[in-house]
Amino acid sequence: MSVAVEAPPAANGASSSSPQYPDQYYYVDQILDRPGPRTDEAFSAGDPVKSFLREQCKILVIGAGGLGCEILANLALMGFKDIHVIDMDTIDISNLNRQFLFRPKDVGQPKATVAAEFIMKRVPGVKVTPYYGKIQDKDDDYYMQFNIVICGLDSVEARRWINATLVNLVDPENPESLKPLIDGGTEGFKGQSRVIFPTISSCYECSLDMLNKPTAFPICTIANTPRLPEHCIEWASVLEWPKVHADKKMDTDDPEHISWLYKVASKRAKEFKIEGVTWQLTQGVVKNIIPAIASTNAIIAASCCNEAFKIATTAAPFLNNYWMLIGTDGVYSYTFEHEKKSDCPVCGGETMDVEVGKGWTIERLIEWLTENQKIQIKKPSLSLGTKPIYFQAPPQLEESTRPNLEKKVHELIPEGGEVTVTASTLPFTLTLRLAFV
Amino acid sequence: MKESQDIESATVQLSPVLETTGLPGLPDSKERRYDRQLRLWAASGQSALESAHILVLGASPTSTSILKNLVLPGIGAFTILDDGVVEGKDLGANFFLETDSLGKNKAEEAIKHLGELNDSVAAHAETRALESILDDDPTYLHKFSLIIAENIPQRILERVTALLWDSSTGAGDGDADADASQTVAPPLIVVRTSGFLADFGIQLKEHSIITTHSDSAASLRIDKPFPSLLAHAFSLNFDKMDVTDHGHIPFVVILVRVLQEWKNDHAGKAPSTYAEKQEFKQRIVKMKKKDDEENFDEAVAQAYKAWTNTIVPSEIEALFNDPSTKNLTANSDPFYHLVHALQIYTSQPPHTLPLSATLPDMKSDTKSYIHLQRLYKEQAAEDKARFTDILRGIEAGAAGAGGGGSVALGMVDDFVKNAHALRLIRGKKWTGLTDDVEALTLAREMAPAAVATHLSLSALYAFEGKNGRLPKPGDGADREEMTAWVKARLTATGWAPEPEPEDSAMTGADEEEEEPMPKEITLWEHVTNAVGEVSRAPAAELPTTAALMGGMVAQEVIKVITKQYIPIDGVCAVDLASSTTGTVKV
Amino acid sequence: MIKIWSMKKTEEAAAKKKPKTSAAQIRVQKDLTELELPSTMKTTFADPSDILNFTLTITPDEGMYKGGCFDFSFAINTNYPHEPPKVKCIPKVYHPNLDLEGNVCLNILREDWKPVLNLTSVMVGLQYLFLEPNPDDPLNKEAAEDLRRDRDAFTQNVTRTMKGGSLRGTTFDNVFKR
């Protein structure tokens, strides 16, 4: 409001959470200086909460694209001062209609680096540490350093990876190992944000079946009975490209590759009297382009950051646990709790602590499993990470892992090692955490 | 300068692959920059955006967030009106001000940092005070395409809403001066924020939308096949076809044929009872030559189309009776000319909307599908020609009466294509729900949380209007005053606080349901929460709230300016403490 | 910071910590170890420690393709089962639903894939192609045309091409060589 307001009571004494210039956090402080009607009792108004937010809290932003740029700006203004950002992409001209930290001169530069520099220049006192690379480059120790992780990604695969990584990170002995994961996504005028407490609430994997499945056309339609321009484009990319270019991989970011597909698809369309093949449609189909606009990204990023702020400060209850927005017909949003799936391969299943005798062989361990009344398991198969320990089938793998049966457990599995057990009698997966006695 | 040159040099690359193909080359720099949004609103939406000039009252964090989301997609021009000077608290919450801005004019500083987001957008600062413009230069506001007012004190806001509403003569008024040329004042979006809470609404006289991007598909006219479709369905000899061809007959053809045969056996009637519908589906199943003929499975799945009567939808019918259609003048918006033409069109046989040329994909071989597609396209072209004749007739009549030109062909195309999903929104003067007892009564039942948020923000404005100051953060007495204000508004609608549980159980006379509704938050609890939140930080411009409103309001601006998709009809209330939103009709 | 550890059911929930195995990996382990393949199908792993890449050999014991050994490469990515496995037929085979590049026309490998399906469904589907070649939605149009026009002639073509014979200028791979 453009009306003078009485200053809120001055904070008691300045600390290093104090601003870079007077009143930097004037508005945010009004929220942090006193609880609201729905604020949790654990909220410690004033300096304690401010000092946690501004001196201790370390937050990771995954993705510096459409959502990422917005997330970084919001976090900086809300008072998060130690922000890290990962992105493996470089800036493309088609990013500029929404990724507002980038300018035409930045095209070709790494997103993470340019975004970090921009934020630090614009918001004094904030440190943004960029990493130009893949999330998979980083190990558990890296992810362990953060209090909260926010994702603004456009890939299902990357989301599944970080989700599984954060679920795996949870150590029941160490409260710090549980990292709230906030995930946002948009498509056109629609979007969603959600809060995941790994192992406690529904995780990304639990809701995998809510995703729209990727559009795929029958390959025989593509080959023989094309009816739509898309069928002609798929013919060019799925069937003709490998035939003509043999081992040369198609690069959907290379305009000449798109042009080639466009040319081939146009020819086929003409042959079949199909209308509507364009360069843009070709690019859209082969890159699976999802429409994206600044305003929707702003909404979803703001929602994600609002939840991060509430989790970090307890200033208000956080989202439990899914918020979806549809802006095509008025403004419709729906807040609901997505249920955790008990048979989720990432956060579901059971974990058992097993005390393994010094002399136990793998065979003995399997015997112990099948005799255990509590789990009622038949014909279990065991692996450690990606390495099979003993597989009941198929024959070749059974044969190649059979020699392991006679080996001592400790020769194959380290202390505290976690063994994945599957069996047809188990609807979920079982994890054994081994201790040698 | 430098930047735009870079875009150019990055684009003018020709495609060697496309040389000599006669195909158009690569998209140009603008198409590439806007690619992800053109896939939503196409070139027509983009050109509407580029012709718009938006005025924003106040360079608040919310205002600059809204503008950011309009500058990026390439709005034509924007103006920020603010006579204030940048203070620490402003730049701390506003990404488009920086330390250097301290002490300078807010509007001038903000446009500098917003303008650099997109070279093709014209950025203007207006440093006069809003009140002096209202006093001395009120027509100033009329030159904009749309105006956004965020957190403007009630007293001034009322002047703005009145100025824009009262000077605007929407055709919907249908009054005596309907013949006079109309002044349509720009739509106004009123945005209010306080800490975690916010709301907004659009003041507009009327807004017609042709390209609604509706999910509902136009009728395929299975039940009322046009002559060439019917002839085609009976020109095929299903029995003599080989298995492959039989497995690729488009389901539309199967349905048209089976329905016609059914009607021949049933005195011209389509299946109506459950048993008949099952029997109809069985007929289709029995026609299969092989078990796995997907086209016949599609026909069974779509069989309901055979007994879905293709008529003019009631919402479209309602447009025919709209005052603006009834009182059509030469100067009426082209939309109403089109609606009127549609009314005449549908009054003639076969009493349907013009056929849509769009045929969905279906199991079929290329030849059969393309043939069927051609039948639809030809009939659609014929229908459009008949529609256009009617329209031109109306226009000629209007021209005789001294009226203006003709509706552009592109608009006719869009109209015919979307005739099944047209929308018209009629607005009201912005007052919120405060004085509208009827709307408030309904809304408090339908969306109590949204009503609580909205009324609490209104209470804040009323408080400021009455006391000339904002409530003191966390102050009990000020909170009580706002609570009492909300209670008075609700009481005016006949609402009373929910009785104590024992009371309601004892009296039983209450018409309220006796069943306990466990944990359902009552309206009054919502109000207590919302007023409590407003009282906690009455003037806090929380950056996340500003950013979220920035996105929502920008979506609405885009929808209003492009006349695509459907803007909100009412007030949208946002509560970021509970992570919920709700819309209430006003 | 919210006291996550004091959230309800924490102890129980936190005990469910999972191993460092990807969801795709676990699913493939489950799918593979529960495979019950008939004698006509066999899997071969080039590297037994890499269970995401393997070969399936189908040796039909009835139908026109009886006796041939048809190898299919399976490549499963980390987005399994959100995405289907990528399957290619390795030898060049004369078949209405296989093209000369090894593409396979099987609905569950593309448009009808869903995460509840598994490797068994795919393998059974592949085997069915050899028992019941479908000429109505072909990938190899000529083969389909042959089958539609004259089943016996088609069968002869199959027998000839399976031995490495040529047909209309295309030389097919001998699938009897083992």
Q: Which has the closest alpha carbon to C110: A228, A232, A234? A: A234
**Active-site residue, from A203, A206, A220, A304:** A220
* CATH for the C21-171 domain, from 3.10.110.10, 3.40.50.620, 1.20.1280.260, 3.20.20.105: 3.10.110.10
The verdict on residue B395 lying in a domain is: yes
Return d(Cα B497, Cα B480) in angstroms, integer. 16
Tell me the nearest-neighbour CA distance from A296 into chain C, angstroms: 26
pLDDT at B3: 40
Return d(Cα B242, Cα C136) in angstroms, integer. 10
Return d(Cα C76, Cα C119) in angstroms, integer. 10
Cβ distance of A299 and B529 shorter than 8 Å: no
Residue numbers in A near C9 (CB within 8 A): 200
Cβ distance of C48 and A171 shorter than 8 Å: no
Q: What is the pLDDT of residues A17-76, one digit of tens each?
A: 667 888 999 999 999 999 999 999 989 999 999 999 999 999 999 999 999 999 999 999
In this model, does residue A345 exceed pLDDT 70?
Answer: yes
The verdict on residue B484 lying in a domain is: no
**ipTM given for this complex:** 0.92
pLDDT at B402: 57
Q: Give the rounded distance of the alpha carbon of C104 from its chain centre.
A: 8
Q: What is the pLDDT of residues C14-69, one digit of tens each?
A: 444 444 678 889 999 999 999 989 999 999 999 999 999 999 999 999 999 999 99
Contact B211, B419 (CB under 8 A): no
Return d(Cα B254, Cα B162) in angstroms, integer. 59
Q: Please tell me which residue, A209 or C95, carries the higher pLDDT value.
A: C95
In this model, does residue A13 exceed pLDDT 60?
Answer: no
Does C169 touch chain A if contact means CB atoms closer than 8 Å?
Answer: no
Q: Name residues 355-394 of chain A within 8 A of B (Cβ).
A: none
Q: Is C89 designated active site?
A: no
Per DSSP, which regions of B82-187 are E strands? 122-126, 146-150
Give the count of domains, chain B: 3
Predicted confidence band of residue A371 (pLDDT cuts 50, 70, 90): confident
Residues of C with CB under 8 A from a CB of B: 135-137, 148
Cβ distance of A124 and B99 shorter than 8 Å: yes
The verdict on residue B461 lying in a domain is: no
Please give the model's pTM, rounded to 2 decimal places: 0.91
Residue numbers in C near A429 (CB within 8 A): 18, 26, 30
pLDDT at C5: 53
Q: What is the pLDDT of residues A30-47, one digit of tens each?
A: 999 999 999 999 899 999
Q: Which of B377, B401, B426 is the last residue of a domain?
A: B426
Cβ distance of C18 and A197 shorter than 8 Å: no
Q: Which of B426, B460, B485 is the last residue of a domain?
A: B426
pLDDT at B26: 85
Return d(Cα A183, Cα A61) in angstroms, integer. 10
- Which of B241, B242, B244 is best to mutate for the C interface (most C CBs within 10 A)? B244
In this model, does residue A346 exceed pLDDT 70?
Answer: yes
Residue numbers in A near C33 (CB within 8 A): 379, 381, 391-394, 397, 422-423
The verdict on residue B543 lying in a domain is: no
> Which CATH class, in words, describes the domain spanning A219-287?
mainly alpha
Do B337 and B197 sit in the same domain of this protein?
no
DSSP per residue, B452-518: HHHHHHHHHHHHHHHHSSPPPTT-HHHHHHHHHHHHHHHHTTT--PPPPHHHHHHH--SSS--S--T
Domain span holding position B576: 28-209+566-584
Does A178 touch chain C if contact means CB atoms closer than 8 Å?
Answer: yes
Q: Please tell me which residue, C8 or A299, carries the higher pLDDT value.
A: A299
The verdict on residue B468 lying in a domain is: no
Which chain C residue has its CA at the smallest distance from A311's CA?
A: C2
pLDDT at B405: 67
Of B17, B58, B544, the CB nearest to A256: B17
Size of interface A-C (CB pairs under 8 A): 198
Cβ distance of A37 and B528 shorter than 8 Å: yes
Residue numbers in A near B369 (CB within 8 A): 225, 227
Do B34 and B133 sit in the same domain of this protein?
yes
Q: Which two structure tokens, joined as six digits, stand for C62?
A: 């009835």
Neighbours of chain C (3+ CB pairs under 8 A): A, B
Do B396 and B280 sit in the same domain of this protein?
no
Under CATH, which architecture does the A57-211+293-336 domain have? 3-Layer(aba) Sandwich (3.40)
Q: Which residues, given as ranges, of chain B have pLDDT below 70? A: 1-14, 168-183, 399-405, 499-519
Cβ distance of A178 and C14 shorter than 8 Å: yes
Residue numbers in C near B247 (CB within 8 A): 136-137
The verdict on residue B77 lying in a domain is: yes
pLDDT at B174: 42
Predicted confidence band of residue A436 (pLDDT cuts 50, 70, 90): confident
Which chain C residue has its CA at the smallest distance from A348's CA?
A: C16
In CATH, A350-436 is 3.40.630.30? no
The dihedral built from the CA positions of residue A239, A243, A245 and A249, taken in this order, carries a sign that is positive
Of A226, A263, A325, the CB nearest to B23: A263
pLDDT at B178: 41
Q: Name residues 70-109 of chain C within 8 A of A (Cβ).
A: 77-79, 82-83, 97, 99, 101, 103-105, 107, 109
pLDDT at B404: 57
Does A46 touch chain C if contact means CB atoms closer than 8 Å?
Answer: no
pLDDT at B8: 41
pLDDT at A315: 96
**Would you list the domain boundaries of chain A?**
57-211+293-336, 219-287, 350-436
Return d(Cα C76, Cα C73) in angstroms, integer. 10
pLDDT at A211: 82
Which chain A residue has its CA at the smallest distance from B471's CA?
A: A5
Return d(Cα B57, Cα B80) in angstroms, integer. 6
Of B244, B248, B290, the CB nearest to C148: B244
Q: Which has the closest alpha carbon to B198: B458, B446, B533, B457? A: B457
Number of neighbours of residue B586 by Cβ within 10 angstroms: 21
Percent of chain A with pLDDT over 70: 96
| Averaged pLDDT of chain A | 91
In this model, does residue A7 exceed pLDDT 80?
Answer: no
pLDDT at A372: 82
Return d(Cα C73, Cα B151) in angstroms, integer. 64
